[in-house]
Amino acid sequence: MKMRRTRHRHRPNPELPIAFVGTYPPRRCGIATFTRDLSDAVIGASRRVSATVLAVTDARCTSEHPERVRFEIRHGIRADYVAAAEFVNYSDIRLVSIQHEYGIFGGDDGAHILDFLSHLRKRAVVTLHTVLERPTVSQQAIVQGMTERCERLIVMSQLALDLLEKAYDIPRSLTELIPHGIPDLPMGEREQHKATFGISGRRVLLTFGLLSPKKGIETVLRALPSLVGRFPDLIYLVVGVTHPEIKRRGGEEYRHALECEAESLGLRDHVVFRDQFVDASELCRYLQAADIYITPYLDEAQITSGTLAYAMGSGAAVVSTPYWYAKELLSEGRGRLFGFGDVDQLTGILETLLLDGVERTRLQRAAYAFARKMTWPAVGEAYVRLARRVLGEAAAPKPRVAPEPSLPELRLEHLIRMTDDTGLLQHAIHSVPDRRHGYCVDDNARGLLVALQSERVAPSAETQRLITTYLSYLHHSQREDGHFHNFMDYRRNLQPGQSSEDCVGRALWALGATVRWASDDGSRLLAREMFDRAITLPLGFVPRGCALGILGLHAYLQAEPGSAVALATLESLGDALVQRYEQEADPEWRWFEPQLVYDNAMLPLALFRLSSVTGDQTALRVARESLEFLESVCFAEGHLALIGNAGWYPRGGERAIVDEQPIDAAAFVLAFDAAYTATGDSRYLARMRESFEWFLGANRLGLSLYDFSTAGCRDGLEASGVNENQGAESTVSFLLALLTMLDQAGAGIDGKDTQAERDEPRDVLAGEFTAGGARAPRIPAEIDR
């Protein structure tokens, strides 16, 4: 979070100060460009308007923003959204304009924007850059939540209006159609622009955007051989870098394949691939040089396309596949459509337009005339008119949230301090790493879980380094039979001996999470190999190791739902855990073992997770009963009182209270989160909060175990004080609990149990938006517009 104090230098006492919330340049992202252009447009529409930007930032981006940006919201930090709302509340801003795309805000499906709106006391409108035909429950709830808290939802196409009414049950009275803005370009001067690219006198076809198989470039390439013989001056420009997700997975293999296909088709002198990031002004020059602009996309469910709008506004003749937005804009003779992947139909259309200059000119003029209402000056005026209308309406009551205690900021300083190039050290003397005890698999597995979840909340080079370090440590420690050498001394000597069941179970949990969440193929593939080597080891484990194995299998199956071995092993472990409960439990002691020891809540947690995959109602019942039993034992006088490490709690015996451990409090946080997800019972959320507050002083001694100065966690609650050492187990336990709290607070929608995949990415600058709701793994949408 960063706030700046600036003055409105050119607009003294503006009548209508508007704040824009979205990404912003220098970030290379379509929403960023749109936010800048829209804020420019509303200022240009009226001298009485001023613009302030609250920019959503990426942890990897360190660039300075221009003066208009007065507040920076870190993508994954929920507290920043609340602070941003308070910044607006105590300013002269009268209206907030939010640029919404699921991928640019933190929380699952971008749910943190609801935290901003819930704390906002000024009026707001939201521009929806993606409208899905088949939204998930959480995506639908986010849009409906914005509807409750905003005066209007703005969309860019008629179809989007229809979808909001049909798929989201939002009345037309709350929606507004304002088209995608485009630069106000002069028509003509095509040859002059061709000269700037060294293609004077040639007939120019153009496609712009991030290269990916969904772009359909192959269709155009296969149409060209029959055209270039008749039109030897024909050239096809394919402008744009490779889609980041395609490049991450296969480098430039896809681009190389396209270039090879062009070469094999004899098109060396007729196709140019320009691998470059193109800003808005350069894109306009390309468009003004094009005779025909082609969008050969293969996905019908695109609700809007900035590049298509730009092309029409530049005066190019447009040829496109019939995706939704193209059908709407190119109707009534404003362009030509061909079937998805239909090479022959495309060839015929291009041949006609290249031969018939009159028809080509007619299309160019029709598209250009239609696009006049889409120019930024026109769009800016439309937004200002809507702003004045909204502010003139009687204020409708909007739902607000009651204040709740804030969560600590996610900080990894102590975790980083405890990590060297080998792995995570086990122990510390106060806050200083103690090298004498070396490393263990248990702590590095926990560390890997924290690093993976931190990467989801606030991605950075540091979280990527931690993921690699901890995964590498686990790999080095695994034996050929799947077991692990749990301990390694500081000199990197692995200690002999059989790995414990807890060690194997925690490693499987971390490896399953890596398969599910790691952002790079190398980490996922290695984790999968390691997981498969150990997948059946928990069969026959006692309850705690069995439960940890279930957590690993649950995570693994989210990424590999077709794995028959994983599912069979999960079911067998679940049956064994339920059977153990039924053997040990009685009406007074509803538990799996004859004593309560450490990490107890992991057992019901595992069964909640298992039931979400298998639908096993017996497992769900046992999870609820055993967690209820733990509650009856461990909650008293409004706080959590954990089982003491110094003696535990045997059935019929005396319960130990000394030496309460952070690992146990974290297990309760995770278990109550899973219980809420499985049942929807909000009582579990209250218990989850109480469990987390144990770290902050809501405990037997009223002392905080979390050290706000070091970002470490003290090792335990002793008889009359805290253990001042801040070792790995306690610190990662706190961080895992905090990340779970942040995730639940950010979701707050449907008690999610799976990671929300982001909606289809869009091309930089001019955007390709899907309305489908496909859930294929890919990069967040804000990277690619």
3-state SS, 562-612, equals: CCHHHHHHHHHHHHHHHHHHHHHCECCECCCCCEECCCCCHHHHHHHHHHH
Q: Which residues of 742-773 are buried (b: 16+ CB within 10 A; e: fewer)?
A: bbbbbbbbbbbbebbbbbbbbbbbbbbbbbbb
Q: Taking the CB of residue 646, how many other CB atoms lie within 10 A of it?
A: 13
Who contacts 93 (Cβ-Cβ below 8 Å, separation ≥6)?
A: 17, 18, 19, 52, 122
Locate 701 and state its tokens. Answer: 């001694």
Grouping H, G, I as helix, E, B as strand and the rest as coil, residue 248 is helix
Q: How far apart are CA 341 and CA 116, in angstroms?
A: 43
Straight-line distance from the first to the last Cα atom of the chain, in angstroms, rounded to the nearest whole number: 25
What's the pLDDT score for residue 749? 34
Q: How far apart are CA 166 and CA 13, in angstroms?
A: 43
Locate 727 and state its tokens. Answer: 């070792």
Locate 771 and state its tokens. Answer: 């309305």
Q: Can the peptide bond before residue 183 be classed as cis, meaning omega within 30 degrees of 0?
A: no
Locate 763 and state its tokens. Answer: 């091309």
Q: Taking the CB of residue 220, how many other CB atoms lie within 10 A of it?
A: 22
Beta bridge partners of 100: 128
Q: How far apart are CA 131 and CA 384, in angstroms?
A: 23
Beta bridge partners of 336: 319
Q: Taking the CB of residue 684, how many other CB atoms lie within 10 A of it?
A: 24
Locate 716 and state its tokens. Answer: 């335990």
The DSSP symbol for 736 reads H
CA distances 512 to 424, 501, 545, 559, 758, Å, are 19, 16, 15, 9, 21
Residues with pLDDT less than 70, the chain:
1-13, 59-63, 395-405, 745-785
Residue linked to tokens 């003004």: 288
Handedness of CA 336, 338, 340, 345 (dihedral sign): negative
- The upper half-sphere exposure of residue 172, i.e. CA atoms within 13 Å in the direction of its Cβ, equals 5
The DSSP symbol for 677 reads H
CA distances 623 to 104, 588, 610, 626, 733, Å, are 36, 16, 10, 5, 22
Q: How far apart are CA 466 and CA 419, in angstroms?
A: 8
Task: Find the largest Cα–Cα distance for the chain.
Answer: 96
What's the pLDDT score for residue 77? 82
Locate 102 and state its tokens. Answer: 């699921």
Locate 5 and state its tokens. Answer: 């104090």
Who contacts 299 (Cβ-Cβ below 8 Å, separation ≥6)?
A: 214, 323, 760, 770, 772
Q: How far apart are CA 311 and CA 319, in angstroms?
A: 10
What's the pLDDT score for residue 755? 31
Which own/partner pairs from 355-361 qualify as long-range (CB within 8 Å, at least 24 positions apart)?
360/291, 360/292, 360/317
Whether the Cβ atoms of residue 377 and residue 181 lie closer than 8 Å to each other:
no
Whether the Cβ atoms of residue 38 and residue 52 lie closer than 8 Å to each other:
no
Q: Which amino acid is at 616?
A: D
Q: How far apart are CA 218 and CA 221, in angstroms?
A: 5
CA distances 581 to 28, 330, 418, 617, Å, are 55, 65, 38, 15
Locate 372 and state its tokens. Answer: 């006049």
Handedness of CA 679, 682, 687, 690 (dihedral sign): positive
Cα–Cα nearest to 387, from 111, 39, 84, 128: 39
Grouping H, G, I as helix, E, B as strand and the rest as coil, residue 507 is helix
Q: Return the H-helix or E-strand segment holding 127.
A: strand 123-128
Q: How far apart are CA 693 and CA 682, in angstroms?
A: 17
Q: How far apart are CA 252 and CA 211, in angstroms?
A: 10
Q: How far, rounded to the nearest angstrom, does the alpha carbon of residue 140 sit from its chain's CA centroid?
A: 16
Whole-structure pTM value: 0.69
Beta bridge partners of 607: none
